[in-house]
Structure 1
Amino acid sequence: MIAEHDVLVLGAGNAGIAAAGAAAAAGQRVLVVEARDVGGVCPLRGCVPKKVLVAAAQVLDAIARAGTHRIAVGAPVLDWPGLIERERTFVEGVPEQFEKSLADRGIALLRGRARFTGRREVSVAGERHAAGKIVVATGSTPRSLPIPGAEHLVTSDALLELPALPESITFVGAGVIAFEFAHVLARAGSRVTLLEVAPRVLPTLDPDATDRLAALTRELGVRIETSVAIDGIERRGDGYAIRYRSGGASAVARSECAANGAGRVADLAGLDLAAAGITLEGGRVELDAYLRSVENPDVFFAGDAIPGRPQLSPLATYEGRVVGHNLTHDALEPARYGHQPAAVYTVPALATVGWSEAAAREAGFDFDVRTHDMTGWRSARTHGETAAWAKVLVEKGSGRILGAHLVGHGAEETIHAFAIAVEKGMPASELAERVYAYPTFHADIKYMVS
């Protein structure tokens, strides 16, 4: 027997919940299938609990700089188990809130992992379900590493639940998550090592910005090695040994804990997309402008389940809304991405929006690069900040702001002014002429674009 629905949504994270809500509001019969807790990565295993740890690192950093303000303090004592317990309070009850929200809107929820058995049919724990439209919103999962001993690596999920602060930790991979945890753990007192296969860390971001962040990270005591080849990971006594090669020489990184720092990928394993007539080639699925599979237009993709796209929670919600519209309207709406701001929540943070310098040149833009080391500016000096840097790309002729890349305390907040400017095609002169509260970091924007 096959249970019939109007819409099947695979995954109950930001994207899936947004799509399901839109379909239910239009009177469609919706079933959401979720293998884990309802809510998804961001509120349960990602950005929300992680920012609780980052906030603690920011306080530790402020204490370290207290002398600048002529405040004498003793060495801070971090209660790591207490911090983890505080972090859990931000997660407790959240799945139940999402479940109630689904139920209140008449959206059915089924626990389990779905597997396609046809173009519009899935199996969940032996039960068959069919629908006119199916949404794949299964989120992301830690990237698997083809390294002997990779099973010893803990994931970011486990790092958020560490019962005790490790004396030392080595990350295999120096992605965004690895950098963020490196800053938290190093400021908490751990000895941290980042091993990166690529010649540069965070290669998708502006290299000048990442060079500054890498330098600040090294100043924190974090060891960073790039262009390494990982040979294997072994259990050694109470810790782990990561064997690798760097510059032709063999080396071993020993630490109490070893972690997967290679980021996350679309969680599509086990879905059997081929049964739905969908090809997963090179880790990618071909989609049209409306987020439908080109090979099977009855199947939509949204959120981190789209291979290769930026894994940003607000972007997942947006895509879920687009899919929700297209599930319920004859006039389809394309996904219009524009330029989303993004941040690496280190201490200090790196934030970015719009074109990078290299991408802008490749696209044929003619532009000026306005770079500023702002550590000597009054706003940074007032707060005793140790990092304040900006790069702004301004198109010649039109004066449009094409992109902005910031490193410094509060960068993750200031970037939003640039995000609006990039999205609206605002000229630098308009930002420069605005009246800002003063003295603030935002007031420095008029000088950043000069």
Structure 2
Amino acid sequence: MRLDALPERILFIGGGFISFEFGHIAARAGSKVCIIDRGERPLKGFDADLVERLVARGEEVGVQLRRRTSLKAIEKDGTGFLVTVETDNKTRDLRADLVVHGAGRVPAIDRLDLAAANVEAGDKGVEVNAYLQSTSNPKIYAAGDAADTRGAPLTPVAVFEGKVAASNMLKGNRTKPDYAGVPSAVFTVPELTRVGMLEEEAREAGHDIRVVENDTGDWYSNLRVGESCAATKVIIDNESDTILGAHLLGPEYGEIINFFGLAIRLGLTTSDLKKMVSVYPSVGSDLGSMLS
């Protein structure tokens, strides 16, 4: 967004990445921020316990979350907006100087006239096979947000899918995208990150797991930047001692999650990770302690 001045009151629609990231920026810059979300749980792809910690931290800095709240109407009201919402079957009006749509996105492929090339597509994008090749027109390949794949709608995923698609176009269908160990992050303050399985996903998949949880708010790396809202949850397979999932909330944890992503991708054990010697006092030096 490009604004000439910071609005006093901002309302975000949807409890996802965009609303939380921009909401935290705006609140810390001085705006009164309200996020409305239709569900009980925002940021559904992330660990529920860490999400609740982030929500509480957001409230401390001025980010109000209204759960179970759906948008009913928006009207221009002078220089601002009158927003009608419904919570638990009760309607009320909220006032805002700016309303931001953060309720998700869809592939921008309608204007491509894909039907003319016999390219089938759905709500999630072009229908492709394991090689990112159109299932209805083998001359067409698609990647990133434009393709219906297992990959998350993230920039790095779109980049490596694009490389896979280009390689297959030039050399024939030899390469499939590997989604193992791809991390994601919500760049709030503090950052919320994840890679691999959630705890419930690991249990449902039949893994014998141990869950290592730490409140890291009083660790030196967080004390030195004045951020006490920090915690970690690491999901470990008991049989192989490998990382199944890692979920981190804390300052600069968007960097540490990359180490966990690499560990998952390469099949490293917790013993392997604990052998790593890190620069001190960097945030990365905390990684070993997050495993015990």
TM-score by length of 1: 0.62
CA contact (8 A) 1:436 1:442 kept: yes
Q: Which residue of 2 aligns with 1:361?
A: 203
1:260 aligned onto 2:118: no
CA contact (8 A) 2:34 2:65 kept: yes
1:162 aligned onto 2:20: no
Q: What is the Cα deviation at residue 433 of structure 1?
A: 2.4
Q: What is the Cα deviation at residue 237 of structure 1?
A: 1.6
1:421 aligned onto 2:257: no
Cα–Cα, structure 1 residues 436 and 444, in superposed 2: closer, same or farther, change >3 Å?
same
1:227 aligned onto 2:80: no
Q: In structure 2, what is the Cα distance between the partners aligned to 1:330 and 1:202?
A: 38
Q: What is the Cα deviation at residue 386 of structure 1?
A: 2.2
Q: In structure 2, what is the Cα distance between the partners aligned to 1:330 and 1:341?
A: 29
Cα–Cα, structure 1 residues 280 and 331, in superposed 2: closer, same or farther, change >3 Å?
closer
1:376 aligned onto 2:224: no
| Identity %, equivalent residues | 38
Which of the numbers 305, 330, 336 marks the counterpart of 2:146?
A: 305
TM-score by length of 2: 0.94
Aligned to 2:85, the other structure's residue is in SS state: strand
Runs of at least 5 residues in structure 2 that lack an aligned partner in the other structure: none
Q: Which residue of 1 aligns with 2:56?
A: 215
Q: Which residue of 2 aligns with 1:248?
A: 89
- Deviation digits for residues 367-392 of structure 1, max 9, x if unmatched? 11111101122332233222221110
Q: In structure 2, what is the Cα distance between the partners aligned to 1:307 and 1:181?
A: 27
Cα–Cα, structure 1 residues 331 and 273, in superposed 2: closer, same or farther, change >3 Å?
closer
Q: What number of residue pairs does the alignment pair up?
A: 291
Q: Once structures 1 and 2 are overlaid, which stretch shifts more, 426-435 or 365-374?
A: 426-435
Q: In structure 2, what is the Cα distance between the partners aligned to 1:283 and 1:312?
A: 14
Q: In structure 2, what is the Cα distance between the partners aligned to 1:330 and 1:349?
A: 40
Q: What is the Cα deviation at residue 202 of structure 1?
A: 0.9
Q: What is the Cα deviation at residue 282 of structure 1?
A: 4.4
Which of the numbers 431, 434, 437 marks the counterpart of 2:279?
A: 437
What pairs up with 1:251-330 in 2 under 5 angstroms? 251-307=92-148, 309-330=151-172
Q: What is the Cα deviation at residue 349 of structure 1?
A: 0.8
Q: In structure 2, what is the Cα distance between the partners aligned to 1:448 and 1:165?
A: 39
User: Which stretches of structure 1, 4 residues or more, deviate above 4 A after TM superposition?
Assistant: none
Aligned to 2:131, the other structure's residue is in SS state: coil
CA contact (8 A) 2:126 2:146 kept: no
Q: What is the Cα deviation at residue 362 of structure 1?
A: 2.1
Q: What is the Cα deviation at residue 273 of structure 1?
A: 2.0
Task: Work out which structure has the larger RCO, using CA pairs closer than 8 Å and 6 or more positions apart in sequence.
Answer: 1
Q: CA RMSD in A?
A: 1.6
1:177 aligned onto 2:2: no
Q: In structure 2, what is the Cα distance between the partners aligned to 1:291 and 1:231?
A: 39
CA contact (8 A) 2:15 2:103 kept: yes
Q: In structure 1, what is the Cα distance between the partners aligned to 2:18 and 2:53?
A: 17
CA contact (8 A) 2:278 2:285 kept: yes
Q: In structure 1, what is the Cα distance between the partners aligned to 2:259 and 2:122?
A: 38
Q: Which residue of 1 aligns with 2:183?
A: 341
1:190 aligned onto 2:48: no
Q: What is the Cα deviation at residue 188 of structure 1?
A: 0.6
